[in-house]
Structure 1
């Protein structure tokens, strides 16, 4: 049994931070902070400008209809654009859809004439819409939503551009992904993996790892679409086992008793009972930012299924 705080990768807080030091530099943990309500995705290419909220943006009516339909169905809408490009999109609406909740997450894209050409109900049902084709390569989103938070643009823009120089067809600037205090934010699709407080070098390392089917625990916020305590449980099992494959750790079941969450997690050929609870930490940024953040600490971690040794396997 393991008790107490497990080592965690650091990250930065603070919405709207203007403090010159201590923010977005990796001084506070980022684990268990991926956006919970993002199991399905709709990405719509639009060069901008982007208002603080999508419903306030000056968009073609067809895109507003798509965003409203997606929101109603529980699909997370995102506006995207190529790094450094602000040219309007011609010849239809370029869209991408993704299912991060599937046993085998997938992503598809297409160019549609209007909202009626994209069957969003099929996305929720786990089926690729007829107007789209599957995308084999991963997609990387970097939040650069300046009207939502200045730090996202100040830190995110140069990161998106540098990453796009190496992966020119796979990287997009995007609107708010959740967690401004963790700028620069990187999202890896179709699995919905979130990273925060990213430097250019860290973003490239995370992208390379994801293309190889792995995660990097440094600055890893978690998997979107699952509750934050369960993200924490997966995080601590990864730390304990060293399991880095994207699908190598997953929660099988869980229950909560007040603020404490007990989860049963599989990982690295074993099952674990993990108990986590929330904790509050002060930010280093002073009055310019949120004064505290809530994260999760490890209470206990028990291995339930022993790993067979090579000698016993021969018996």
Structure 2
């Protein structure tokens, strides 16, 4: 197993380094397939039944993010296997408003994946895979072949969360941002959290059950460009509005966003700061975002 660590990174896995605006930008639609492991470094390189391999190829072709999942402490043989699809965005690629959704069911045979309409998933439409999933799915990255820290910190967190929140919690393959392990993704909204210990993870999940985010260790929302995630974060921090849908970035031009928060609209200027690789043989990058200005539209500049 490759032992990719971030031990040389200042503040790595401690919460000392800002993790805002670091959620993966390329994931608004999701395909989750139960796979007991072992997991290859890249999911597409695993030794898979033909229908599963075909589903992964089709997901990649349509821009659907594919993840393997498995229950903590449980390495049951598959099939049967749980499969979920979902969409995290508020707007479909064609501009239609969309409410984030999840659906799924247990398949008796992987061959049932052949009829899965992944083009519909990419377009933000439920494909009729199974029943709508009422509660959230909580994914904790434990993908040690991608980064040893994900297994070392993620596996015990996944077990602890499973004991508290039950079948909502799954271990999963690489979600992006190994340097922020332990990482948590809350679906269907695609909320990313990093540098988590058990206390902070429970706080994040509890808030999500109540329709809110927690800004501590909040990486951002998947599928949005990093500057958009940064603008959302700074407005939430300024206004105290934590409802998942309470803050919306209406537009982003260059480094300046227009953000609606409650009944107010703000103009926010952000800047990417990039000190370069962290050194010590580690290739991780410490780039983050800072706020350069904020103003209430039709009002005075704000600190």
Classify 1:274/1:140 alpha carbon distance in 2 versus 1 (closer, same or farther; 3 Å). same
* 1:109 aligned partner: 104
Q: Distance in 1 between matches of 2:44 and 2:125?
A: 27
- In structure 2, how many angstroms separate the alpha carbons of the residues matched to 1:163 and 1:111? 22
Match of 1:88 among 60, 77, 97: 77
Equivalent residue pairs, number: 286
Deviation by residue 1:60-109 (Cα, 9 ceiling, x = unmatched): 22111111111110100000000111121233x42101110133101110
Shift of 1:148: 0.5
Give the counterpart of 1:150 among 137, 148, 151. 148
- Structure 1: segments with no counterpart, 5+ residues: 1-14, 307-315
Distance, in Å, in 2 between the alignment partners of 1:39 and 1:291 is: 24
Point out 4+ residue stretches in structure 1 off by more than 6 angstroms.
none
Identify unmatched segments of 5+ residues in structure 2. Answer: 91-97
Aligned match of 1:56: 45
Out of 201, 204, 212, the position equivalent to 2:202 is: 204
CA–CA distance in structure 2, aligned partners of residues 288 and 85 of structure 1: 35
- Give me the TM-score of the superposition, normalised by structure 1: 0.87
The Cα offsets for residues 248-278 of structure 1, whole Å up to 9 and x where unpaired, read as: 111111111xxxx111010132001111111
Length-normalised TM-score, structure 2: 0.90
Alignment partner, residue 33 of structure 2: 44
CA distance in 2, matches of 1:254, 1:219: 24
For residues 144-163 of structure 1, give each alpha carbon's deviation from its aligned partner in whole angstroms, at most 9, with x where no partner exists: 00000000000000000000
**1: CA distance, partners of 2:284 / 2:62:** 35
In structure 2, how many angstroms separate the alpha carbons of the residues matched to 1:55 and 1:116? 17
Instruction: Please give the residue correspondences for 1:1-315 in structure 2 after superposition, counting only pairs within 5 Å.
Output: 16-18=5-7, 22-91=11-80, 93-102=81-90, 103-112=98-107, 113=109, 114=111, 115-256=113-254, 261-281=255-275, 287-290=280-283, 292-304=285-297
Alpha-carbon shift at residue 111 of structure 1 (Å)? 3.1
Offset from partner CA, 1:153-211 (integer Å, 9 cap, x none): 00000000000000111000000000000100000000000000000111111000000
Which residue of 2 is the match for residue 6 of structure 1?
none
Residues 38 and 224 of structure 1 are in contact (CA less than 8 Å); yes or no, is this contact kept in structure 2? yes
Following the alignment from structure 2 to structure 1, what is the Cα–Cα distance between the partners of residues 250 and 60?
A: 28
CA contact (8 A) 2:8 2:280 kept: no
Structure with the bigger RCO (C-alpha within 8 Å, sep 6+) is 1
**Quick one: distance in 1 between partners of 2:269 and 2:295?**
9
Any conservation in 1 of the 2:211–2:243 contact (CA below 8 Å)? yes
Q: Which stretch shifts more, 61-70 or 20-29? A: 20-29
